[in-house]
């Protein structure tokens, strides 16, 4: 049997990034993908003729610019087009418009509350302070706080220095920010319900927590710390859908001589004498390599494709305890034309951005209550976009594609699997909510792909359909991601590594875990590092 230097399990963006850097360093690298297509949750598929759906992830901001540039992703076809705008519709027929132009935005905020317009600038500055603290650590391996190794001490010192530079007050703010709820945080700035509701969405997306659950303020930060061309907090569309991120990464990988095998599901990481030796596939084939990298989430990695007897008991327990709760669903809809929204001119630049239909924090908290009761939210928080207004490649001219991210949807309904009726009910809830604000929406629907957390798990392999491969709460971040003692991408078995979003710095299509893991692997192999450091963010 052919032997590889490294085998990466899972052709998602992190697996491909990891593979590209290992191949760039001269290793013979194989990427295994269980599906017939690559991409994992960074995928675009034609499920309705001439329409392309970004089935899972749908917008792009966190993808590290250092990696985009270093792996020459633009040359390999990646183009990220920023979008602005956004609307939160109110039940009373009014809306809040998130204008891209700063002064226009402040006037819109002032329309709801003059006081909030002045608080908005304080809010922006404060969030930016926290963003600037975290950004330099995205392309770095978290230090082990219990280690006395010079490298760990140096990295810890850097962390301490960054915290220190925030000043006494900044330090206190940071501790609060990382632990408090997005609702409490926003209450300290704003009085207008709709403005709070508009901003709070970023704190709960993909997270099995409510707007008043501690820890959700950080989740908001996670959505602000990306950038498009240096514009921090901006989001864009990958032209051609998010699948073009995976496509560009795979081309880069292939250009370094790598191999991708689809329809090749990993069943087991082969371990002999405490060392990784290769991967056994579901079809019985065995592939060998001394380096095996799992791009699956920590639960799947340690509880499904590794033998418990090969692992230290604490890892098995930690994997079992790892918080990776499914909380979101998705509708991808082919539209015969651009829908009209009540009160909003079709040509309004606000239409280019996200639309939401939750106008208060209590409403969002109630949506979470439904999740706790093991059912989908009856009045969900949705993050809806129509990318075809900017990206002409997703649907025929004049036709549109709508991406609807839905929070909350539980992994199980009342303890059982989702039935066809449940799924239909979920779909109806979402479509009805949108049509409450768009009278012609239902008539324009040509096709709808509805994805429950269970569907996402079955197809993509994200446990419970958790989009971040583990919740982004402080107990699972930095040197605690995925769990204490294993945050430096090395598994408990020699030659076995982790590169998924379940590792630092987490999910959101950053590709940083994949790149950081590659750096560690190359260091262990005493090979020249091919992974870039982060840009200076001053």
Partner 1 sequence: MMPHDETMILETPFHSRCLALCEINLWEDWKGYRSAAAYTSVEQEYFAVRSNTGVFDISPMIKYRFTGPDAGAYLNRLVTRDISKIAVDRVAYTVWCDDNGQVMDDGTIFHLAENDYRLCAYARCLDWLMWSAEGFDVTIVDETADVAALAVQGPTSCAVFKDMGFDGIEHLKPFGIARYPFKGAEVMISRTGFTGDLGYEIWIDPTFAEPFWDDLFAAGKLRGIRAIGSAALDMLRTETGFLQAGIDFIPAEEAIRTGRSRSPFELGLGWLVSFDKPVFNGRKALLKEKQEGSRYAFVYLDVEGNKPAEHAFIYSGSKEVGTVTTAAWCPTAKTNVAFAQVDAQYGKVGQKLVAEIYYERELKWTRVMAKCTVIEGAVFNPPRKRQTPAPDF
Residues near partner 1, by CB under 8 A:
94, 101, 103-104, 106-107, 110-112, 114-119, 121-122, 125, 128-129, 132, 165-167, 169-170, 189, 343, 345, 348, 538
Helix H segments across 72-142?
102-112, 114-134
Q: Which residues of 361-377 are buried (b: 16+ CB within 10 A; e: fewer)?
A: bebbbebbebbeeebbb
- Pick between residue 126 and residue 524 the one whose CB is nearest to partner 1: 126
d(CA 300, CA 306): 9
- Pick between residue 130 and residue 466 the one whose CB is nearest to partner 1: 130
| Residue 537: CB minimum distance to partner 1, A | 11
- Pick between residue 94 and residue 379 the one whose CB is nearest to partner 1: 94
| Residue 347: CB minimum distance to partner 1, A | 10
Q: What is the 3-state secondary structure (H, E, C) of 341-362?
A: ECCECCCCHHHHCCEECCCCHH
| Residue 236: CB minimum distance to partner 1, A | 22
Which residues, 6 or more positions from 402, have their beta carbon under 8 angstroms from its beta carbon? 331, 332, 333, 335, 339, 384, 385, 386
- Pick between residue 135 and residue 451 the one whose CB is nearest to partner 1: 135
d(CA 236, CA 329): 21
Q: Which of 110, 128, 131, 129 is nearest to 190 (CA)?
A: 110
| Residue 102: CB minimum distance to partner 1, A | 9
- Pick between residue 268 and residue 340 the one whose CB is nearest to partner 1: 340
- Pick between residue 288 and residue 535 the one whose CB is nearest to partner 1: 535
Q: Which of 119, 43, 25 is nearest to 461 (CA)?
A: 43
Q: Within 13 Å of residue 227, how many CA atoms lie on the same side as its CB?
A: 15
- Pick between residue 229 and residue 538 the one whose CB is nearest to partner 1: 538
Rg, C-alpha atoms of the chain: 22
- Pick between residue 126 and residue 449 the one whose CB is nearest to partner 1: 126
Collapsing DSSP states into helix, strand and coil, what is residue 182? helix
Angle value at C-alpha 478, between 512 and 538, nearest 5 degrees: 65
Q: How many residues does this entry show for the chain? A: 538
| Residue 343: CB minimum distance to partner 1, A | 7
| Residue 118: CB minimum distance to partner 1, A | 4
- Pick between residue 173 and residue 440 the one whose CB is nearest to partner 1: 173
d(CA 85, CA 82): 10
C-alpha distance from residue 369 to each of 159, 376, 407 (Å): 37, 9, 11
Place of tokens 């593979």: 19
| Residue 354: CB minimum distance to partner 1, A | 19
- Pick between residue 191 and residue 263 the one whose CB is nearest to partner 1: 191
Q: Which of 534, 532, 528 is nearest to 72 (CA)?
A: 532
| Residue 92: CB minimum distance to partner 1, A | 9
| Residue 94: CB minimum distance to partner 1, A | 7
d(CA 288, CA 84): 48
- Pick between residue 119 and residue 249 the one whose CB is nearest to partner 1: 119
The single-letter DSSP state of residue 528 is: P
Count CB neighbours of 92 within 10 A. 8
What does the DSSP assignment read for 387-446? GGGT-TTSSSTT-EEEEEEEE---SSBTTBPPPHHHHHHHHHHHHHHHHTT-TTHHHHEE
- Pick between residue 342 and residue 458 the one whose CB is nearest to partner 1: 342
d(CA 167, CA 173): 10
Q: How far apart are the first and last CA of the chain?
A: 51
| Residue 271: CB minimum distance to partner 1, A | 48
C-alpha distance from residue 429 to each of 198, 325, 336, 442, 466 (Å): 20, 22, 21, 12, 21
- Pick between residue 153 and residue 344 the one whose CB is nearest to partner 1: 344
| Residue 362: CB minimum distance to partner 1, A | 18
- Pick between residue 169 and residue 421 the one whose CB is nearest to partner 1: 169
| Residue 348: CB minimum distance to partner 1, A | 7
Count CB neighbours of 102 within 10 A. 11
| Residue 89: CB minimum distance to partner 1, A | 12
| Residue 132: CB minimum distance to partner 1, A | 7
């Amino acid at each position: 049997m052919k032997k590889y230097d490294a085998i990466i399990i899972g052709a998602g963006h992190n697996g491909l990034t990891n593979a590209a850097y290992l191949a760039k360093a001269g290793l013979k690298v194989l990427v295994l993908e269980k599906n017939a297509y690559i991409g994992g949750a960074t995928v675009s598929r034609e499920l309705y003729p001439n329409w392309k759906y970004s089935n899972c992830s749908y917008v792009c901001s966190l993808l590290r610019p250092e990696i985009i540039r270093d792996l020459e992703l633009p040359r390999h076809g990646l183009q990220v087009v920023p979008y602005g705008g956004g609307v939160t519709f109110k039940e009373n027929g009014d809306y809040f418009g998130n204008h891209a132009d700063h002064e226009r935005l402040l006037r819109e905020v002032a329309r709801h509350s003059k006081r909030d317009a002045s608080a908005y600038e304080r809010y922006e500055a404060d969030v930016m302070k926290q963003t600037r603290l975290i950004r330099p650590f995205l392309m770095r391996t978290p230090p082990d706080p219990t280690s006395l190794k010079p490298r760990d001490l140096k990295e810890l010192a850097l962390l301490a220095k960054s915290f220190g530079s925030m000043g006494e007050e900044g330090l206190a703010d940071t501790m609060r920010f990382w632990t408090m709820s997005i609702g409490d945080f926003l209450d300290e700035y704003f009085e207008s319900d709709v403005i709070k509701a508009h901003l709070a969405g970023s704190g709960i997306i993909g997270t099995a927590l409510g707007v008043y659950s501690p820890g959700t303020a950080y989740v908001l930060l996670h959505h602000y710390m990306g950038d498009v061309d240096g514009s921090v907090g901006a989001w864009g569309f990958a032209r051609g859908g998010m699948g073009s991120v995976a496509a560009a990464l795979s081309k880069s990988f292939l250009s370094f001589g790598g191999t991708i095998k689809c329809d090749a599901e990993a069943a087991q990481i082969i371990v002999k004498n405490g060392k990784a030796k290769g991967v056994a596939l579901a079809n019985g084939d065995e592939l060998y390599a001394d380096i095996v990298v799992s791009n699956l989430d920590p639960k799947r990695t340690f509880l499904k494709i590794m033998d418990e007897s090969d692992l230290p008991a604490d890892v098995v327990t930690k994997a079992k305890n790892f918080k990776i709760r499914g909380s979101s669903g998705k509708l991808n809809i082919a539209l015969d034309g651009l829908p009209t929204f009540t009160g909003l001119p079709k040509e309004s630049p606000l239409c280019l951005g996200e639309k939401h239909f939750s106008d208060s924090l209590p409403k969002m908290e109630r949506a979470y209550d439904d999740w706790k009761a093991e059912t989908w939210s009856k009045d969900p928080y949705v993050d809806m976009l129509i990318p075809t207004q900017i990206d002409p490649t997703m649907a025929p001219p004049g036709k549109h594609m709508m991406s609807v991210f839905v929070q909350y949807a539980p992994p199980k309904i009342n303890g059982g699997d989702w039935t066809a009726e449940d799924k239909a009910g979920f779909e109806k809830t979402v479509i009805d909510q949108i049509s409450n604000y768009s009278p012609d929406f239902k008539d324009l629907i040509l096709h709808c792909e509805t994805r429950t957390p269970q569907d996402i798990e079955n197809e993509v392999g994200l446990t419970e359909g958790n989009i971040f491969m583990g919740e982004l709460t402080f107990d699972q971040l930095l040197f605690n991601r995925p769990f204490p003692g294993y945050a430096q991408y090395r598994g408990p078995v020699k030659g076995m590594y982790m590169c998924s979003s379940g590792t630092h710095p987490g999910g959101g299509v950053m590709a940083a875990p994949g790149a950081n893991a590659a750096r560690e692997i190359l260091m262990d192999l005493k090979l020249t590092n091919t992974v870039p450091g982060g840009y200076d963010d001053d």
